[in-house]
Structure 1
């Protein structure tokens, strides 16, 4: 099982913001992701919050082996043409170490920051269904003209393309049928935060069962599209399911083992931030990074 981390873009780079990324590499994390939002929920809403792509570009120059990625980018404020150009540039700067986590987006601050009314769940799903295939084409074709319901591209050039071929990998966040089909068709990985209906109200056992059922539905979507589900990494973003897996190495190893048994292949833990839902003991967190993989 892979162990990765997500570093929220809340630190000024010139005040030591790069240290976490370098430390993530030295601790042996597979990938360090960051959130791609314009702003996020309390308590981050009124504090520093930097752009995902510039942050990852800086992280690419501060590291040499660590994979980097978004978790996740969405259509809420992104357009496939401009996003493709930024991703190709980031993939080049990093030497081919970028993964794009991509999802349909939600109803938070990003949904209205550009002055639009928040989209309904159906509208988000409709846009996502056009966004992902178009982005796929933009990252694999040197020139593209396209006229869709939501997005257009007119002689959009994306030369020289990605360092990674045929393009950088997609990690598609999805739980519903349409999203799972997109993951099956276009993803190299699938992402979940667990069952949102359980949250803090359910039990850890119920949550593991729910994640296993999500993976079964992903498998069915892959079968329907002629894809081998084993080709996709199954990624769980830790921090939104019942339980406290970061309290100790033993708790994390138990948590990881339970999820590995139902098919999860990568766990992503939040870099600790005091005073938030992601608070954790830094020493325990680093012990988990260095000790837990060898015990799984």
Structure 2
């Protein structure tokens, strides 16, 4: 299977001051999908401009024609399935059916407390995530949903006419633990990982590679246990969070070597960050564009 190359464009620039041009250029460069983070703020960007994911993707849908669009990732930290479903159906309509929902349990960053709540424990996040995904699946496939859950409920929530994509827009489920992998197997059209976070600071690239091999193995085992064919799931690696850091983006050859190894491992899509000067995602623009235009053909 050929390897898809996608990008993630952070929502940190005003639309008319570089925001719009990044999305249109991503389509020109031939990326399969252009994602954005769905956060209220994020790490070192916290004290600077940061815009909402759904409005940004809606604007991007209006200035592009072919490229897929998506979140990487949306979480329950500040979302509710009922209101999110309505926004996603609208976005899928505006885009003509080009939306993928990257979705994860969320972490302990700024989003976790922005609504005034105490941070959830890992178990609470997992519990909420399971209920969130199951209800969102129903909301995006049924005209009217009534559900009473422990964390999320819906009372005759109507979502007519539903998604352009049938039976609903695809889910790309970010998960590494057993409960999250079960959600990916049950509800996902793709699975997303950033690698093993414990290896980011002190691990080696080879240790990270083996950790990802292990994650793929666990995904396959989980799919088998739930009666799902693992080959049906896309395997997405969001790069930039492994010990390699930005080294694969230093040259076309470095990236092709990096991507080829992960393609052989079983990944079907790699996502690289759009260059952000003076940040952890700083990349030489000419090299980035060359990778976008030339690497897919070399990877086959």
Verify same fold: TM over 0.5.
yes
State the alpha-carbon separation in 1 of the partners of residues 216 and 91 from structure 2. Answer: 30
State the alpha-carbon separation in 2 of the partners of residues 205 and 257 from structure 1. Answer: 14
Structure 1 ranges of 4+ moved more than 2 A? none
Match of 2:149 in 1: 148
Match of 2:268 in 1: 265
State the alpha-carbon separation in 2 of the partners of residues 195 and 216 from structure 1. Answer: 14
Deviation at 1:14, TM superposition (A): 2.2
Q: Does 1:246 align with 2:249?
A: yes
Q: After TM superposition, list the pairs within 5 Å mapping 1:51-90 onto structure 2.
A: 51-90=52-91
TM-superposition CA deviations, 1:148-173 (whole Å, max 9, x none): 00001000000000000000000000
Match of 1:290 in 2: 293
User: Which segments of 5 or more consecutive residues in structure 1 lack a partner in the other structure?
Assistant: none
State the alpha-carbon separation in 2 of the partners of residues 215 and 174 from structure 1. Answer: 11
Match of 1:163 in 2: 164
SS of alignment partner, residue 17 of structure 1: helix
TM-superposition CA deviations, 1:236-255 (whole Å, max 9, x none): 00100112110111110111
State the alpha-carbon separation in 2 of the partners of residues 261 and 214 from structure 1. Answer: 15
Match of 1:24 in 2: 26
State the alpha-carbon separation in 2 of the partners of residues 38 and 21 from structure 1. Answer: 20
Q: After TM superposition, list the pairs within 5 Å mapping 1:204-219 onto structure 2.
A: 204-219=205-220
Match of 1:10 in 2: 12
Match of 2:97 in 1: 96
Deviation at 1:262, TM superposition (A): 1.1
Match of 1:195 in 2: 196
SS of alignment partner, residue 150 of structure 2: coil
SS of alignment partner, residue 197 of structure 1: helix
State the alpha-carbon separation in 1 of the partners of residues 122 and 71 from structure 2. Answer: 22
Match of 1:256 in 2: 259
Match of 1:37 in 2: 39
Deviation at 1:198, TM superposition (A): 0.6
SS of alignment partner, residue 160 of structure 1: coil
SS of alignment partner, residue 78 of structure 2: coil
User: Which segments of 5 or more consecutive residues in structure 2 lack a partner in the other structure?
Assistant: none
TM-superposition CA deviations, 1:34-73 (whole Å, max 9, x none): 000011101x000000000000000000100000000000
Computed over aligned residues only, the root mean square deviation of the Cα atoms, in angstroms, reads 0.6
TM-score, normalised on structure 2? 0.98
State the alpha-carbon separation in 1 of the partners of residues 18 and 283 from structure 2. Answer: 20
Q: Which shows bigger deviation, 193-202 or 280-289?
A: 193-202
TM-superposition CA deviations, 1:160-208 (whole Å, max 9, x none): 0000000000000000000000000000000000111110321111111
Match of 1:113 in 2: 114
State the alpha-carbon separation in 2 of the partners of residues 259 and 15 from structure 1. Answer: 35
State the alpha-carbon separation in 1 of the partners of residues 137 and 151 from structure 2. Answer: 16
SS of alignment partner, residue 205 of structure 1: helix
TM-score, normalised on structure 1? 0.99
TM-superposition CA deviations, 1:215-272 (whole Å, max 9, x none): 1100111001100000000000010011211011111011101111111110000001
SS of alignment partner, residue 16 of structure 1: helix
SS of alignment partner, residue 198 of structure 2: coil
SS of alignment partner, residue 135 of structure 2: helix
Match of 2:277 in 1: 274
